[in-house]
Amino acid sequence: MFPPVALLGLGLGLPPHVLSQEEAALLTARIFGDRLAGFPQFERVFANTGIARRHCARPADWYAAPHGWSDRMAAYRQAAEALFVQAATAALADAGVAPAEVDCVVVSSSSGFAVPSLDAQLAEAMGFRPDIERLPLFGLGCAGGVAGLATAARLAAPPGRTVLFVTMELCSLAFRQDDGSRANLVATALFGDGAAACVLRGGAEERAFAVIDGAGQHLFPRSQDIMGWRIDDGGFGIVLSAALPQFLQAHLRPALARLLAQCGAEEERIGRFICHPGGTRVLAALEEVLRLETGSLDHERAVLADHGNMSAPTVLFVLDRARRAGLPDRAALLALGPGFAANLITMRRGPQ
């Protein structure tokens, strides 16, 4: 628990290249060719994702050529910088906050890295003060949108302190031609690129569209092989267990009770769970665990259809839709990521 923190603004960012699901399936079939004989469910996986299109950091032909670490990280830095500026600028404008007012910037990204970190490289161009505090986060994966926002909220708790949270993921840059595994092919069908940013301030509830009042994390024991990266000379390689939906059905319910208790919240008072849409099977499992009617997570399915799974930023795209539709009195953000961990934020609707 921590003092209530105002969520003043939210901004989104997308790279310029759009790939339909049909185009993604054809491109994958062209690249993997005869190797798909060992994965007869290939066409069905692409057709059943619930995804219509996704945005990508590079044109389609880029993914058909071989790339190593140097190529991938150069592409990451270029695309991530553009997405950082796009999402952060939109969030600051939405909040009515000038860059020089930002006291701290928290950045979560697990699909690439740069040293100096992106926040340092872009500080002058963004107009941040020289004394700004910076906290780059790596390794949170799909949970980074909620876990990173929770960290930003804790740092923004002192009254008047302003924190900018930015999360961007370039999942498409991890596409591996040399990996014909089921996990890699499923990831190819699911993941896209995007960014989101939020502006938070302590003691400014009168300007908030939502007020964060709790956050918690639950780390499941002996679950490290469910989700993550395998790192080798070619770059990142996906670790993604096919048993994830069943794992959630078996283990998430008691963890959710503990998370709500950490936040001092009662489940029956949560008017809307805003969830990271990892995929259609994961959404179905979440609806079962949350005791919701099938199809209740409608904003999640709409974001998945329009953008695919963008990893960490995706839940904030869902929050944006929920905000525009009208937040209930109480809501909770829920995301799952490497560790394997569940992350929760509770919030109440603000006056704005």
Catalytic residues: 142
Q: Which residue has the tokens 């299109």?
A: 53
- Per the CB < 8 A criterion, the answer to whether 320 and 207 are in contact is no
Q: Where are the beta strands (DSSP E) in 87-190?
A: 104-108, 133-137, 162-170
CA-angle at 349, arms to 162 and 277, nearest 5°: 90
**CA separation for the pair 83, 97 (Å, rounded):** 19
Tokens standing for residue 272: 């809307």
**CA separation for the pair 324, 319 (Å, rounded):** 9
Q: Where are the beta strands (DSSP E) in 223-337?
A: 227-232, 235-240, 272-275, 330-337
**Strand pairing category for 235-240 and 17-20:** unpaired
φ, ψ (nearest 5 deg) of residue 222? 55, 45
Closest CA to 90 of 9, 164, 176: 9
What DSSP string describes 288-299?
A: HHTT--TT--HH
CA-angle at 163, arms to 342 and 260, nearest 5°: 30
**Cα 172 to the center of its chain, rounded Å:** 14
Closest CA to 132 of 93, 81, 109, 166: 166
